Structure 1
Amino acid sequence: MKGVYTALVTPMNENGDIDYDSLQALIRHQLRSGVSGFYVGGSTGEAFMLSMTERKKLLEAVIGATAKRVKIIAHIGCISTRDSVELAVHADKAGADAVSAVVPFYYKAGIQELQEHYETIMSAVSVPMLIYHFPGATGVSLTIDFYERMSRHPQCLGVKFTSMNLFEMQQIRDRCGERFLILNGHDEVYAASVLMGSDGAVGSTFNMMPSLYMDMFSLASTGQWSKLPALQAQANEVIAHMLQFDVIPYEKAILHLQGVLKTPFARSPLKRFTTEEAARIAEFYRSNNLLQSNNAQVSNL
């Protein structure tokens, strides 16, 4: 399960329904870049603005489109354990290779309760679990002791580590051993995460520039560390521009300009760009060789 996984956006029509035609085009576009697999229904996929039925249908569509050519990690995280179990059981039956769950948020739960949450999900399915650590969004920080305990569970695959605290990542690697998979989650520090012990990455911006991250993974896999900073700088030029706006609507806008998505629509309350903002994004896209090089082939749509 080491590798580069695109955290897929969920394409939508102007009426807010999932655009399955554009989803198929996005998957074809990503497969041509050689990604290791897809992380489906996560934060980038607007999971918490989708119904349970939509989340299930989305996963089924991705699995059907990939036809087992790549690995599929299904994000099944919910605030409640019961809903998480329901999505996990569905993902297992649908053919996902692993499930992943963000830490339950909003209601305060202790470390023991969080461990029981993950253990309950794992007991309901046969596939492995990838914990999703994203304290910047959830407000929940997990301890190194928690990860060490979870690493001893035979069904716990590892962690999707979406934090800038790479010291903590290194400590997880040190305490949990090489068997415990660590996939970096903040794209802007992927090169640094490799040196701190990551086995690959799950990335949102991979939607826009998958080929670059595949190049970085290949270089890291062969120990060509000195070549990584220059590629990371290329990615970070795009990321720095994106952070002036709003992540998911920006990525959809770029994918629309690249010819992958029919529309750049994202569900409310995510930002709708003004005419002036859309023009600025389009101008940057036209001036950026990296984004231009990841344009879709004509056959995508």
Structure 2
Amino acid sequence: MNVAVNWQGVYPALLTPFTADDELDLDLFEKNLIAQVQAGVKGFIIGGSLGEASTLTRPEKVALLERALKVGDGRIPTLVNIAEQSTREAIACAQEAEANGADGLMLLPPMRYYADARETVAFFTAVAQSTSLPIMLYNNPFDYKIAITIPMLEELSALPNIQAIKESSRDITNIIRVRNAFGDRFKLLGGVDTLALESIVLGADGWVGGLVDAFPEETVVLYDLAVAGKIEEARAIYSWFMPLLELDIHPKLVQNIKLAATLTGIGSEYVRAPRLPLIGDERARVLGIIESALATRPVLTPA
């Protein structure tokens, strides 16, 4: 039985922990998942950019899905990220995720090939029609060079299982544009950590977070305060959080956030090549940001 996805609250884009031998560290993955549940997240997303999707095999993605479903225990929906190069492979991955119990999908536009609007709509349509799972489209032209525009959404709105958009364009006024065009047809989730509070204030339904992998409690409390309209309290946490959140908008966001999760006890620094762990001055700089934040960690008051 699938868990309903309501597209509200905090959804961590989960890290994929590895061992020193480059195998999945499923026990550490579970430890992080439990911390997320205890903090109050509303969903899991596995195999995204932070999850090192491009280096994972399909059996590994299934193993991560199975462990997340175990921890979610019928309470927390688990979404599988689909980020493939071909439409055929994207359909196969979507159907495999559904067959193995996924509750929903996050769907990126075609990877590597710079598809135009017609091709991108056809890609999304083909995947959506191949599965009954609810889908969140990932709008990130900053990194992936393909924008999901209002005219494209007009076509895609005919597909009932395309339900949400992860808005990572870094232009948060897109939240207003989509609301003006479609009302509540699509749920909107902010996807840029350094614009999280602004996105929620503008009406985003949720937050797909990165630093939540290391700081789940702070992330959830910040979101809850913002939704409750306690903006001054939210801003105080946001100000403390910002140097950490900036670690998410960097080419080495995976290494940065894995280091942060290591220091908070729910992750490790192991990454999969071609990525390599941070070293030298670069590691010292990131470590200094994390240690400074830990030394001034706020006392949290739930919203």
Q: TM-score, normalization: structure 2?
A: 0.89
Amino acid at match of 1:274: I
Letter of the 1:285 partner, please give it: I
Contact 1:105 1:139 in 2 (8 A): no
Letter of the structure 2 residue corresponding to residue 89 of structure 1: Q
* Equivalences for residues 72-83 of structure 1 within 5 A: 72-83=78-89
Instruction: Give the Cα–Cα distance (whole angstroms) in 1 for the partners of residues 220 and 30 of structure 2.
Output: 21
Range 266-275 or range 167-176, more displaced: 266-275
Q: Is the 8 A contact 1:7 1:40 kept in 2?
A: yes
* Cα distance in structure 1, aligned partners of 2:104 and 2:54: 19
Show the 5 A alignment for 1:141-160: 141-160=147-166
Aligned CA distance change for structure 1 residues 20 and 40 (closer, same or farther; 3 Å): same
1:135 aligns with 2:132: no
Name the aligned partner's letter for residue 94 of structure 1: N
Moved more, 196-205 or 215-224: 215-224
Q: Is the 8 A contact 2:259 2:269 kept in 1?
A: yes
Deviations 1:151-208 (A, max 9, x none): 3321111111112111222101211211311111001111111132210111111111
Contact 2:210 2:248 in 1 (8 A): no
Unaligned runs of at least 5 residues, structure 1: 295-301
**What's the counterpart of residue 256 of structure 2?**
250
Secondary structure of the residue aligned to 2:79 is: strand
Q: Could you tell me which of 245, 266, 271 is aligned with 1:266?
A: 271
Partner Cα distance (1:149, 1:195) in 2: 28
Match of 1:48, as an amino acid? S
2:114 pairs with one of 93, 104, 108: 108
1:278 equivalent in structure 2? 283
**Which residue number in structure 2 is paired with residue 20 of structure 1?**
26
Compute the displacement of 1:244 (Å). Answer: 7.4
* Equivalent pair of 1:6/1:35 in contact (CA under 8 Å): yes
**Whole-Å Cα distance in 2 between the matches of residues 163 and 195 of structure 1?**
17
Structure 2 residue 201 is the aligned partner of structure 1 residue 195: yes
* 2:26 alignment partner AA: Y
More deviation in 48-57 or 128-137?
48-57
The answer to whether the 8 A contact 2:134-2:162 is kept is yes
2:293 is the counterpart of 1:288: yes
Structure-2 separation of matches of 1:96 and 1:76: 12
Matched residue, 2:233: 227
Residue by residue over 1:113-160, the C-alpha shift from the partner in whole angstroms, topping out at 9 and shown as x without a partner, is: 211211211222111111111112211122211123223321111111
Separation in structure 2 between the aligned mates of residue 238 and residue 214 of structure 1, nearest angstrom? 15
Alpha carbons 2:166, 2:191 under 8 Å: kept: yes
Aligned counterparts of 2:296 and 2:33: Cα–Cα separation in 1: 17
Question: Equivalent residues in 2 for 1:84-103 (5 A)?
Answer: 84-103=90-109
Q: How many angstroms does 1:280 deviate by?
A: 4.2
- Note if contact 2:193-2:246 (Cα within 8 Å) is conserved in structure 1: no
Compare 53-62 and 19-28 and name the one that shifted more.
Answer: 53-62
Moved more, 8-17 or 54-63: 54-63
Against the structure 1 CA distance between its residues 204 and 240, is the aligned structure 2 distance closer, same or farther, given a 3 Å change threshold? Answer: closer
Indicate conservation of the 8 Å contact 2:10/2:42, yes or no: yes
Q: Which SS does the other structure have where 1:85 is aligned?
A: helix
- 1:52-109 CA deviation, whole Å, 9 max, x = no partner? 2222222222112221221212112211111111111122122222111111132232
Of the structure 1 ranges 29-38 and 223-232, higher mean CA displacement relative to structure 2 is found in: 223-232
Q: 1:171 maps to what in 2? A: 177
Is 1:186 aligned to 2:186, yes or no? Answer: no
Distance 1:83 1:218, change over 3 A: same
Worse overlay, 146-155 or 276-285: 276-285
Bigger shift: 42-51 or 165-174? Answer: 165-174
- Would you say 1:30 and 2:43 are equivalent positions? no
Percent pairwise identity = 26
CA RMSD of aligned residues (A): 2.2
Match of 1:125 in 2: 131
**1:242 & 1:114 partners in 2: Cα distance?**
26
**Structure 1 residues 152, 229: closer, same or farther in 2, change over 3 A?**
farther
Counterpart AA for 2:271:
A
The aligned residue for residue 3 of structure 2 is none
For normalisation by structure 1, the TM-score amounts to 0.89
Would the alpha carbon gap of residues 231 and 202 (structure 1) be closer, same or farther in structure 2, given more than 3 Å must change? Answer: same
